[in-house]
């Protein structure tokens, strides 16, 4: 069994994003080549990443899915290279990709579908006994933004995520290895994302550690904009770091970000204030 990486006493863990995709919303495919992805990963480690999240499928709204073979060819060489250096999470909805990457050394499976996209996922992670991140999810990228109807977004997401938790535990996923993610940016409008973020403490009441990923997402697009125009995704790291402060104060287990240095600095501020108190 691979244990869940421990959260430091004074801050959340920082999960750095390594997109091995040609169509990422945040970097436009800059790290699609495996060697470029590995070099980028080492720069994130140097900035202070505790975990690297390697993904071969873009989940931006409207993205097309790669085949199983394409996804595995993208991520497997990167996982193999990085796993001896730092804890690696594989960001995948496919059980076959998760299994191959765990066998190659991945320590965590991060599934944005929470096991809904592939019925075999729960079985694979339960047998492997590795930490598993289950996110709130309502559908694939091509139509997820048509699924934003909620009676009360916080209550509905809490209920749906609790249902996934229960199903995963029933399927044999160990409770101490299950991490939940409220799914910012997935089947949610900007206003709904802010509501879910404001309710972070409610999601902790589900009884599991939390991973939250707000980094560079579209609901942050106008944060800091003086004219109301959208700020490009790769210029949203200041807004992301501000969200990281909020998440640190909520005591989440880990924060998933594209640019590590600014979030680590933000977490240092929170830790210094806690010590001063």
Phi/psi-derived region of residue 28, left when phi > 0, alpha when psi is between -120 and 50, beta in every other case:
left
256 is catalytic: yes
Return the structure tokens found at 131: 């930490």
Q: How far is CA 98 from CA 79, 90, 91, 94, in A?
A: 11, 7, 8, 6
217 is catalytic: yes
Return the structure tokens found at 189: 């409008």
Return the structure tokens found at 85: 């250096």
Instruction: Return the closest-CA partner of residue 182 out of 221, 218, 143, 155.
Output: 155
Q: Is 277 exposed, middle or buried (0-12, 13-18, 19+ CB in 10 A)?
A: exposed
Of the candidates 217, 236, 275, 277, the residue annotated as catalytic is 217
Return the structure tokens found at 200: 């972070």
Residue 37: phi and psi, rounded to 5, are -65, -40
Under a CB-based contact definition with an 8 Å cutoff, are residues 29 and 23 in contact? yes
Of the candidates 74, 216, 256, 264, the residue annotated as catalytic is 256
Active site residues: 217, 256
């Amino acid at each position: 069994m691979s244990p869940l990486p421990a959260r430091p006493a004074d801050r959340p863990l920082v999960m750095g994003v390594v997109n091995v995709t040609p169509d990422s919303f945040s970097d436009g495919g800059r790290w699609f080549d495996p060697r470029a992805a590995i070099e980028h990963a080492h720069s994130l480690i140097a900035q202070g990443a505790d975990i690297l999240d390697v993904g071969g499928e873009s989940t931006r709204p409207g993205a097309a899915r790669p085949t199983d073979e394409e996804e595995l060819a993208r991520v497997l060489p990167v996982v193999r290279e990085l796993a001896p250096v730092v804890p690696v999470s594989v960001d995948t909805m496919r059980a076959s990709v998760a299994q191959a990457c765990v066998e190659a050394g991945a320590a965590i499976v991060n599934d944005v579908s929470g096991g809904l996209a592939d019925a075999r996922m729960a079985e694979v992670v339960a047998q492997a006994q590795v930490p598993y991140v289950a996110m709130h999810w309502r559908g694939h990228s091509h139509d997820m933004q048509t699924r934003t109807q909620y009676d009360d977004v916080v209550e509905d997401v809490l209920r749906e995520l609790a249902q996934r938790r229960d199903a995963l535990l029933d399927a044999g996923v160990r409770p101490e290895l299950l991490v939940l993610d409220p799914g910012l940016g997935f089947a949610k409008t900007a206003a709904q994302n802010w509501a879910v973020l404001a309710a972070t403490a409610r999601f902790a009441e589900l009884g599991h550690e939390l991973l939250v990923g707000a980094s560079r997402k579209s609901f942050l697009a106008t944060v800091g904009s003086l004219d109301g125009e959208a700020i490009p995704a790769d210029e949203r790291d200041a807004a992301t770091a501000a969200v990281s402060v909020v998440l640190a104060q909520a005591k989440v287990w880990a924060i998933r970000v594209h640019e590590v240095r600014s979030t680590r600095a933000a977490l240092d501020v929170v830790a210094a204030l806690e010590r001063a108190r």
